[in-house]
Structure 1
Amino acid sequence: KDVTINGKTTSQFLASVILDNLPPRPFNIRMVRETADSTTDQLQNKTLWSSYTEIIDVKQCYPNTAIVGLQVDAEQFGGQQMTVNYHIRGRIIQVPSNYDPEKRTYSGIWDGSLKPAYSNNPAWCLWDMLTHPRYGMGKRLGAADVDKWALYAIGQYCDQTVPDGFGGTEP
């Protein structure tokens, strides 16, 4: 694609060029200046390549990822930027079968079995990272390689209540 740049400026000049239908990667982009750079101090016309940005316009699929998209009419907000907040709890992980993650309590004697539930208890989040085969170490470590009984004691310690600094308590 041929691009001609003419004009004068006392500051940096940037040009954007859109190249459609690029070949599969890797590919080369070459910029050629047909006139020589100036050799005098009175004319500064050195040409530099700064960068390129590749924009891929395709429909994306994001497996195992929660995504939210919104399309709204800006006139509904009086020209103001819209603010959207989300409260995201996170992943459902394996926790002890006698554990109530909402109340952060353990009932009875644990038989070693696990159940799926949301929890932000660091011990059970660690269990998830160590044993999950997709994003954790689960392809290298088996459940038998991790001491879940020690994690059970650590989890109970993590769920103990402590002062929150405002007169109440929190786990």
Structure 2
Amino acid sequence: RMRRMTPDSTTDQLQNKTLWSSYTEIIDVKQCYPNTALVGVQVDSEQFGSQQVSRNYHLRGRILQVPSNYNPQTRQYSGIWDGTFKPAYSNNMAWCLWDMLTHPRYGMGKRLGAADVDKWALYVIGQYCDQSVPDGFGGTEPRITCNAYLTTQRKAWDVLSDFCSAMRCMPVWNGQT
């Protein structure tokens, strides 16, 4: 509950008008599906008669670490990259691979560090993935994108090999990390 104790100002010398923008409700419960986005929909079946209710969702996926000089919306790289990253949504296959290699929860991040992955080579591969190519309908599209849902557990090497093969490259393991 939120309550204002003083009335709004009537003078131009004091601006204290209250504006309610939004609120967030925090529920402290044990989650059945942690780290998962869930959607719950309740509809009255009488509104649809004998038709089955259909739902469509546009999912963008994870926020990844992408190069600090990269604009994922325009797929442009500006200036010289200093090796730092920023969080942003991207379906660039190279940065999806970087996320998979370095993320500690679901990726290889507990075994590999950022220093164990050649980010400079991935930067060049990322630029290759973002090059515009004809889409066959008179327009252009990025050369390679990643819009995958990984729903089954597999060996890490197999998943990494599949991702790399989509980018026309191959992972190399030195046998030590």
TM-score by length of 1: 0.65
| Structure holding more helix per residue | 2
Query: In the alignment, which residue of structure 1 is the partner of 2:108?
Result: 137
Query: In the alignment, which residue of structure 2 is the partner of 1:73?
Result: 44
| Match for residue 55 of structure 2 among 81, 84, 93 | 84
CA distance in 2, matches of 1:124, 1:152: 8
Q: CA deviation at 1:60?
A: 5.4
Local SS of the residue matching 2:99: helix
Superposed, 1:12-161 pairs within 5 Å as: 61-161=32-132
CA distance in 2, matches of 1:122, 1:166: 23
CA distance in 2, matches of 1:74, 1:149: 55
CA distance in 2, matches of 1:138, 1:60: 24
* 2:103 counterpart letter in structure 1: H
Q: CA deviation at 1:69?
A: 1.1
CA distance in 2, matches of 1:84, 1:142: 40
CA distance in 2, matches of 1:95, 1:86: 25
Count matched residues.
113
Query: Pairwise CA RMSD of aligned residues?
Result: 1.1
Determine which structure has more spread, i.e. the larger CA radius of gyration: 1
Q: CA deviation at 1:78?
A: 1.6
CA distance in 1, matches of 2:75, 2:32: 36
Higher relative contact order (CA 8 A, sep 6+): 2
User: What runs of 5+ residues in structure 2 fail to find an aligned partner?
Assistant: 1-29, 143-177
* 1:142 counterpart letter in structure 2: G
TM-score by length of 2: 0.62
CA distance in 2, matches of 1:63, 1:116: 21
CA distance in 2, matches of 1:69, 1:87: 15
Residue identity (%): 84
Q: Which runs of 4+ in 1 moved over 4 A?
A: none
